[in-house]
Structures are given as C-alpha cells and as structure tokens.
Amino acid sequence: MCKRSINNGFSFFILTNQTPPMNGQKMMFNQKKLIKKEFWKAASALFLASSLLIGNHLVASEIKKEPLKTVISAPTYNEQLINAAHSAILAQYHYDRLPIDDQLSERIYTLYLKALDPQKTFFLQSDIDNFERYKYQFDDFVRQSRLEVPYQMYDLLIQRMDEQYDLVEELLKEDYDFNVDRSIVIQRKDADFPKTKKEMRALWKDRLQNELINLMVTDEKLTLDEAKAKLQKRYNTRQKRIHDMEEGELFSLVMNVVSLSFDPHSGYYSAKQMEQFNISMSLSLQGIGTVLRQNDDSVSIVEIVPGGPADLTGQVQIGDEIIGVAQGEDGEFVDIVGMRLDKVVEMVRGEKGTVVRLQMIGNKGKGGEKIVKIVRDTVKLEEQEAKSKVYTMPSDVEEAEYKLGVITLPAFYSDFEGNKQGVQDFKSTTRDVKKLLLELVNKEHIDGLVIDLRGNGGGSLTEVIDLSALFVGSDKSIVQTRGFDGNTDAQSSPNEDLIYTGPMVVLIDRLSASASEIFAGSMQDQGRAIIAGSTSFGKGTVQTMIDLSRILAKSTKPGQSKVTIAKFYRANGESTQEKGVEPDVHLPTTYDPTEIGESKEMYVMSWDTIDAAPDYDPSVVITDDIATKLQQKSEQRFKEDEKHQIYKRQSDKTLELWKVNELSLNLDTRKEKLKTEEAENLELQNRMRVLYGYEPLTLEQFRNEDGTYTKLLKDTQTDLLLEEGLLILRDYIDLIDVEKTLDMTDESDAEEIVMP
C-alpha cells in the first residue's frame, strides 16, 4: 500500500487493518471535489477556532497536589493551532459527522483515563472523583484549544507513578508468603480504582508477588533475592522512562484520544512520528519482520510479516510481550520492561545474518515466558507475493483423484508508484494471481481452487476489485462504497475478465481484514466460493491522510490527520464493519474474537446495510443445504481424525488461555500448573510429529526448542487448516458431481416419460 499525494493536500489510504497503513491509493468513488470543498470549510473553522485561543487559559491547580518531577502543564501555541486544525477537520468530514459536544466529551474523557491508567494501578478513586468534574468539558477544551486540564491530569499521573515506583523499593524489602491461597486479577479494566493508599499498597504487593513468581517459575535456579534484584532493576528502568518523554509526545497522545473518540481508525501523527514510521518501514526490510507497539510499560507484537524471520521461527505470535532482548548467541539479556519503544526497536533491528534473542511472555502476559532465537534477515518482499501449489486428493464418493490448486495471498499489494511512472512490469496482486491462475488452469488442469487469505490484513482497493473479476467477470459489482456525503457507488472491474469458473474455497481467519473481507464477501455474494475458517476482522471503513501543513502554512511541521471518510458494503448491501464476513464452514481458531477484531474496540462505527447493488442476484448464492453438509463433514473429521483432534485440542488450549484472568499467588501451585501444561503441550506436539513422520522431542529439546517443529507445521504440507480447506474443496466437488448426476438422471427420466 504505497502512499500517493494529490494536489489538494490529501493522501488517500484504503482498506487495511494496519495503523498507519503501509500503502494507499486514491479513493475509487467520486469525492475529490467534495473533499476539496470540505477541506476549505475545515480551514475556515480553524480560523474561527484559532481566534478563541487568545486570552483563554484554564488553571486546574487543584489537580496538582505537590510539585512534580516532570511538569508539562500546558500546550505550546503551535500545539494549540494544530489541535484547532485537527479537531476542525474531524468534525467537518469524518464519516459520522459527530459534533464536538458533551457526548463526545464523555468519550474523550473515558478514552483518556484508559490511556493514562489502563490497569487502574496508579490513580486513587479520589483522583477520579476530582477528574469527574471535567467529564463534560473536554469538548470545550478541544474546541477552544484549552488543553491545560488533560496536561495536568498527565502530570498527576507522573506524580502517582513516582509514588508507586518509590513504594516498590520499600515493598521488595518485605517478606512474601508464597504459600497463600489467593489469586491476582491480571487484566483490571473492569476493576475499581483503589480507594485508599492502603488498598493501593496491597494491590502492588500482590502485583510484585506475581512478578516474582513469574521470574522464579521461568528460571528455577533464580533465588528470591536475585528475583527481587531483577525486579527492582526493571522498575528503576520504568521510572526512568516516564521522565524521558520527548517534546510533543503528550500532545500526540491527547490528539489521538480525541481522534479515537470518533472511531478506532482515525488518528493524529506528528511530523516526527510520520518520519519515524517511514524510516521504520524502510529499515524493517532488514530485521525480524514484526511490528511492535508500546503498551503500558511493555512492548507487544501486533503484526508479523508473513515469511519474515520472526514468522519462520513459528514461535512468535501476535499478542506476545517482549520483556528482554539479547544480542548474539550468548549475549546478556537487557530488561526492556519500561523502556521506550524506539529504543527497543533499535535493539531488535540489526544487520542481516546477525542473531537476536527475545525473551517474551505469550498471550498478553497470560502465558509462560519463552526465549526465541531469530536470525535477522532481509524481509523478502517476495514472501508476501501470491504463490501457488498443486495437491492431489482422492474423491470420497467415487474412484477418482482430484488435482487441487492453492493460491496463498498474504496481502493485496500494488506498486502504485511504479504504475504511476509507467513501469511495464510493476508489482500487482492481480497480475501475479492471473499468471498463477492461468498456469493452474491451462497447465495443471486443476479440478478446484483454494484461495488462502488467512492473516491478510488488506491493501489496494483496485487490486481486490480486479482480482475478484478473474472469478466473477468484469460485469459484476464487487463492492459498494458510501462516502460521508451519502453517495453510494457500486464498483466492478473494467480491467479484467473471467478466467476461472471452477469450484473454490476461500480460507479466512480473524486477521483477514478490509480488502480480504471484500474479496471473501464478493465470492460469497456471487455464489463463487465456499468461505471457510473463522469470522473475519470486521473493518469496513476507509481512511484518508491529510497533511496539516496545507492549512497551517506558518506552523512548524504540524503533522498529519488520519480521518475515516467512507464505508464499504458488499454487493448484497451488507456492511462488513464490526461483524466481518461469516464463513459458510466454521473451523477451529486460536484467536479470541473478544480480544482481536473490530468489535473489541471502543466506539466502533456500527454495522448497517444499504440497498443491494443493481445486478445482485441472491439466487446464485450457495445454498444452506450445501454449506450444512460441508460443515457436518468437517466437524466429523475433527471428531474422528487424530491430526484434527490434536489441532482442535491445541486451539482450544490457546482459547482457554485468552480467557484466563486470574493467577494463583502460590508458588508451588504455579510451578505445578506450568509443569502440567508443559507435559500436555509436549505430548500433543510429539503425537503430531509422529503423524508427520518426525522423531518425538525430549523434554529438554522441547524447552530449548528453536522453532524447528513449529516451523514444520507452518509449512504448507503440514498446515492442518489448509489441509482441511482442501478436504472441504474435495467434499464440495463431490457434492457438485452428485447433484449433476441427479440432474442428468431426472432429465433422462423425463425424456422416457414423454417418448411415444
């Protein structure tokens, strides 16, 4: 998804679940003139808002209880101007056109508190009671660029954090009872804020006990004193980081909170953040192939580049938290908990061929610690290109063998710049898939096709429309788009013609988003494919990037606004927003939909419907009878086939881990639990290894495993869900053949009846 700027200062991004998106493209529906008009309306609103800046200053000194070590009490004048521009643009042409009023103020307030203290471990309830008076004033703060209150709320947070981190040193000197029959809540988003300092102290004592147990369970040789020393060092790093805020960071936080009050995909990026992002995207070509995000005081994996070094280990998963980084085969681990994200990224990156070792906790802190060795490499863009493979599979109802093709598509990519410059062979999803498809049809003579979109987060709108035409033709509506002006446009492909008409299965999962959902939804609406997997992500919105320097010409590098300006809809009129695409055949998943997906976000734009496209024909949709039969056959395999049973158990265990929100504070209980889980995981892995013809692992090998086995399972030939997708395709072809036979029999009988 490459960015392309147009003269009015807007850079359009589309159909991706990445934030910010890697590439982009001009919108396909006619909104350019309207956006120009709205742009200048926003500019006019800016000048009006700017006039309110003079003489306005709100002092909320009652929030600040004592002198702070870090004080950012008020925004700069430049930040006030940027706020006025950014908020005016959001109000003027965000898709929902939300007014900046008391209702939005409550959203901003709620999001800001969540951003400041997500685990409710720093603020006291009395602090929250004090903040409550401002709940319905944030709209005024934003509209008039009076940001002193949110800035001083942050100052109080720093004060409270200093108090708690100072308390850590005191608490670590105390004795701990590791034989207690008590648990700790891991995610405290639904908990109350501590009412007293006594409650806060007890909360932190339990928190430290849990972290000590984590350290001692992971490293059995670690003594309690050594664990305490390690933990103290970790908190010293955290405390140092909170005073290491760079200029503009707090302002960016406030602006992003304001943006998120409109929807989860709008945002603000300072000039430095955009510059860092562009650099990171180019440098990430040599590294481990992951996208990292700063959480409260940890760094987590939010995206894994398919085929990259991290992906190929098979051990790195989305949601894993990095707590330590070591260089080389035997370098000492550096504790990165509490460290700034940019510094962590510098440690993780490196030259091709060098080794980095990551110490991680799986599943958002709910899993055990693990150490993963990764050899840095150039992240080959070819790994994200479309690939094909051919499999043979016997029919389940007759003596026949089917030749089945698989096309794996990690992203809907397109070299927009190459296309713009007239490069003849520029990279294109449609061009690559078309070439593969022609080989599969004309050379391999396949009987059926699987399109694998698992993990595909989206990409180019033009590419998904053109690609869909290869399977439905150029005259069919692929997607409908509706802009903030209410105009709807049904889009088909003028560029591509129908190539493949045979049976198809499209594999999706919870990470299939945006453009992937358009393709899957289109194939479902046109009756062209069985959709198999789990419910997709549910992102059905379109964003645009606006360079604020087009408005604030005298301002210094004001950054860019990212605003949701459109929604897309299926040919049948249904949105994919929030609900995603529902598969015809449901398969086991390792992703908890309450933790991953659009629906888990706050203030998401709602699912809705519009009129179906004029050429939509509901009679072509694959019948419920066929889908039910395929679902039953799939479920039967997961009940009876050993490989399927093992995979189902492994996925169930992962889902169970997502739901865990309490951990015992008893050391022996935790050790026993880890031992039991370790033994069960080893048994499941070894059973699967034997089924695939590999030697089982010993416990020592399992504990020090370098990813060989998990990498094996990620290979196409041993991908259980892909194997199941092929089996579903086989069953689908069998059903089609049976129906054809019945139709021929009916026609033959009818002819015999009318013969003289």
Q: What are phi and psi of 235, to 5 degrees?
A: -75, -30
The helix (H) or strand (E) run that includes residue 276 is helix 271-283
pLDDT tens digits, one per residue of 386-415: 999 999 999 988 888 999 999 999 988 887
Contacts of 683 (CB under 8 A, 6+ apart): none
Nearest to 95 by CA among 18, 43, 29: 29
DSSP of 592-643? -TTTSSGGGSTTPPPP-B-PPPTT--GGGSPPHHHHHHHHHHHHHHHHH-HH
Q: What are phi and psi of 539, to 5 degrees?
A: -100, 110
Confirm if 317 and 362 have CB atoms less than 8 A apart.
yes
Please name the amino acid found at residue 720: L
d(CA 208, CA 70): 25
DSSP 439: I
Q: How far is CA 26 from the centre of its chain?
A: 23
User: Which two structure tokens, joined as six digits, stand for 286?
Assistant: 């040599």
d(CA 213, CA 211): 5
Q: Which CATH superfamily is domain 381-542+571-624+722-739 in?
A: 2-enoyl-CoA Hydratase; Chain A, domain 1 (3.90.226.10)
pLDDT tens digits, one per residue of 708-722: 444 444 443 468 999
Dihedral of the CA atoms 621, 626, 627, 631 (nearest 10)? Answer: -170
Confirm if 454 and 533 have CB atoms less than 8 A apart.
yes
Can you list the positions of beta strands (E) in 224-270? 267-269
Exposed / middle / buried, residue 295 (Cβ in 10 Å: 0-12, 13-18, 19+): middle
| Interior angle at CA 363, CA 359 and CA 369, nearest 5 | 30
Cα separations in angstroms, 741 against 744, 747, 748: 5, 10, 10
For the chain, the structural domain boundaries read: 285-378, 381-542+571-624+722-739, 661-718
d(CA 337, CA 324): 7
Q: The whole model's pTM is what?
A: 0.79
Nearest to 231 by CA among 343, 117, 335, 359: 335
Q: Which residues are catalytic?
A: 514, 525, 539
Q: What are phi and psi of 648, to 5 degrees?
A: -60, -40
User: Which two structure tokens, joined as six digits, stand for 519?
Assistant: 């393709």
d(CA 460, CA 140): 38
Nearest to 324 by CA among 370, 374, 376, 368: 370
**CATH architecture of residue range(s) 285-378:** Roll (2.30)
User: Which two structure tokens, joined as six digits, stand for 60?
Assistant: 């909320």
d(CA 639, CA 136): 55
User: For the chain, which ranges sit under pLDDT 50?
Assistant: 1-14, 19-69, 279-284, 705-717, 747-756
